[in-house]
Amino acid sequence: MQQSRCFDEMTVADGAIRAVYGKIARWLAATPAETLASRRSQAELLFRRIGITFAVYGEKDAGERLIPFDIIPRVMLRSEWSRIEAGLVQRVKALNLFLADIYGGQDIIRSGKIPADLILRNPQFRPQMAGRRIPHDIYVHIAGIDIVRTGEDDFYVLEDNVRTPSGVSYMLENREVMMRLVPDLFAEHRVAPVENYPDALLASLRSVAPIAAAEEPTIALLTPGRFNSAYYEHSFLADKLGVELVEGRDLLVNDDRVYMRTTQGAKQVDVLYRRIDDDFLDPETFRPDSILGVPGLMRAYLAGNVTLANAVGAGVADDKAIYTYMPEIIEFYLGEKAILKNVPTWRCREPASLRYALDNLAELVVKEVNGSGGYGMLVGPHATKAEREVFAAKLAHDPDNFIAQPTLALSTAPTFFDAGIAPRHVDLRPFVLTGANGVRVVPGGLTRVALIENSLVVNSSQGGGTKDTWIVDDAIFDEAAPWQSQLQNQAG
């Protein structure tokens, strides 16, 4: 999987500009670095004014941060995107069928395709959901699927995020900022829109309301509160959706129905877009010390009087060990080969894979099966010998908790720094919506960029930044590279 030279999305091996980046190259060649820096500063000012910040857990007195924003968009052809889109739709359909099955007939376990303990002993498996039907058998209403690129036609799914995926607010705000700061460049590319995401999300949520709900179901967004690292996104989305932003203390359960307190009295809630993990949803059912959730919420949920998006128990499909079986899951439920490839993965719970991982730590990326945010992982080639030794001890002590993968040569995209323009590694998180009205994928998604040279960690909590992602029609590009030398001079 490793490559001598990673795939650069703007240039080919001889330095010529790819056609899809031709207009971007022209723009960069004609725009002084001081102007790019000024526009980046304007973007940061806009983000501060609207409050688009996040917090990092474990950092005392760190305050709220801005996610660094890169003014150079990532550009992808519609023909490239169409294949990704088809793969995402296929994958999320299979994930929903998988979750409906493991809480239903468990056919995939009985078939022997997946070890029973990997599901039934999974910390995210919720026995309370066994034998329960939820509206339209949809467990994953909102998914964020992380994708990396390693070649011209090589795209891999890195992770499936189906519990409470975040980042869509940055996708929407990045687009808004780019339309303000570079309107001519934006118009020249005829970029596929993302601003209809809130409307699509609202339609999806309405479509999965309980059968007994009113024609216009009441929807609310449940947040842990302002101290949550993604609170900005929660308030942003509630505003865009035109729904109430509520905390657990704003809700009550009476007669197995959920109500929110309003100035006009209690109002029944039909759909909760929850951004709280299962463990904290209901102190009667899960953690009794939770002050974030709503006592009795699970009773109302299991009675069919409220829909939770995403469904309780969906986190099993977030597990990185389950991820390794996705090609089999897709074939089992859909009878199709996976359109998007998985990254080759060693399950450290298997003795042979554990031996391989321990023998090759210097070349592998090792992750916790339930880890997220770039935490709890080892990037072997960038780790010290001492760090690898410490991680080897963890791996040997609890192999079931880890998977290992090759160090992929993630694609790079041009990124602006004060010193010039340089390639940096990127990934992509598209957002997939599923409702009774079908599956819909926003064109593009959130591109995350590792701002540190040679770093493969793109997470904002680990110092990564973001870019706007432009999906553009193939027909508007012509083959050209006359700006190559100018661009190199500017970057040099």
pLDDT for position 489: 43
Q: Which two tokens stand for residue 273?
A: 């877009």
pLDDT for position 491: 43
Nearest to 95 by CA among 39, 165, 1, 10: 165
Could you give the CA distance from residue 248 to residue 251 in angstroms, rounded to a whole number?
A: 5
Write the CB contacts of 66 (distance below 8 Å, at least 6 apart in sequence).
44, 47, 48, 52, 53
Please say which residue of 381, 406, 431 terminates a domain: 406
pLDDT for position 371: 67
Please say which residue of 275, 305, 335 terminates a domain: 305
In a domain, 7, yes or no: no
Chain-centre distance for alpha carbon 241? 20
In a domain, 264, yes or no: yes
CB contact at 8 A, 92 and 432 = yes
Q: Is the pLDDT of residue 480 over 60?
A: no
In a domain, 2, yes or no: no
Could you give the CA distance from residue 193 to residue 190 in angstroms, rounded to a whole number?
A: 9
CB contact at 8 A, 439 and 180 = no
Could you give the CA distance from residue 175 to residue 292 in angstroms, rounded to a whole number?
A: 32
Please say which residue of 406, 439, 457 terminates a domain: 406
Mean pLDDT in residue range 205-231? 92
Q: HEC states along the chain?
A: CCCCCCCECCECCCCCECHHHHHHHHHHHHCCHHHHHHHHHHHHHHHHHHCCCECCCCCCCCCCECCCECCCCEEEEHHHHHHHHHHHHHHHHHHHHHHHHHCCCCHHHHCCCCCHHHHHCCCCCCHHHCCCCCHHHCCCCEEEEEEEEEECCEEEEEEEECCCCCCHHHHHHHHHHHHHHCHHHHHHHCCCCCCCHHHHHHHHHHHCCCCCCCCCCCEEEECCCCCCCCHHHHHHHHHHHCCEEECHHHEEEECCEEEEEECCEEEECCEEEECCCHHHCCCCCCCCCCCCCCCCHHHHHHCCCCEEECCCCHHHHHCHHHHCCHHHHHHHHHCCCCCCEECCCEECCCHHHHHHHHHCHHHEEEEECCCCCCCCEEEHHHCCHHHHHHHHHHHHHCHHHEEEEECCCCCEEEEEECCEEEEEEEEEECEEEEECCEEEECCCCEEEECCCCCCCCCCHHHCCEEECEEEECHHHCCCCCCCHHHHHHHHC
pLDDT for position 54: 59
Question: Is 332 in the same domain as 204?
Answer: yes
pLDDT for position 469: 98
Q: Rg of the Cα trace of the chain? A: 23
Question: Is 425 in the same domain as 402?
Answer: no
In a domain, 91, yes or no: yes
pLDDT for position 356: 95
Question: Is 61 in the same domain as 151?
Answer: yes
pLDDT for position 486: 44
Question: Is 223 in the same domain as 279?
Answer: yes
Question: Is 85 in the same domain as 227?
Answer: no
Q: Which two tokens stand for residue 389?
A: 């030794």
Could you give the CA distance from residue 318 to residue 277 in angstroms, rounded to a whole number?
A: 12
Question: Is 53 in the same domain as 180?
Answer: yes
Mean pLDDT in residue range 143-168? 94
In a domain, 66, yes or no: yes
Q: Which of 255-269, 316-330, 406-420, 457-471 has the lowest mean pLDDT?
A: 457-471
Question: Is 414 in the same domain as 315?
Answer: yes
Q: Based on the structure, what is the number of domains in the chain?
A: 3
Task: For residue 310, say if its preceding peptide bond is cis, omega within 30 degrees of 0.
Answer: yes
User: How many percent of the chain have pLDDT more than 90?
Assistant: 78
pLDDT category at 418 given cuts 50, 70, 90 is confident
Q: Work out the mean pLDDT of the chain and round it to a whole number.
A: 90
In a domain, 84, yes or no: yes
Nearest to 346 by CA among 300, 407, 290: 407
Question: Is 338 in the same domain as 480?
Answer: yes
Q: Is the pLDDT of residue 60 over 70?
A: no
Q: Which two tokens stand for residue 225?
A: 């509160």
pLDDT category at 372 given cuts 50, 70, 90 is low
Q: Is the pLDDT of residue 4 over 50?
A: no
Residue 66: give the domain boundaries: 19-210+306-343+408-491
Strand pairing category for 377-379 and 74-77? unpaired
Mean pLDDT in residue range 304-331? 96
Nearest to 169 by CA among 227, 224, 241: 241
Question: Is 310 in the same domain as 413?
Answer: yes
Quote the pTM value: 0.91
Q: Is the pLDDT of residue 472 over 80?
A: yes
pLDDT for position 375: 62
pLDDT for position 475: 80
Q: Is the pLDDT of residue 490 over 50?
A: no
Looking at per-residue confidence, does 337 or 484 come out higher? 337
Longest Cα–Cα distance in the chain: 72
Question: Is 318 in the same domain as 427?
Answer: yes
Q: Which of 178-187, 239-248, 348-357, 370-379 has the lowest mean pLDDT?
A: 370-379
CATH, residue 247: 3.40.50.11290
Mean pLDDT in residue range 440-467? 86
Count CB-CB contacts under 10 A for residue 109: 17
Question: Is 319 in the same domain as 399?
Answer: no
In a domain, 8, yes or no: no
In a domain, 4, yes or no: no
Question: Is 143 in the same domain as 281?
Answer: no
CATH, residue 367: 3.30.1490.270
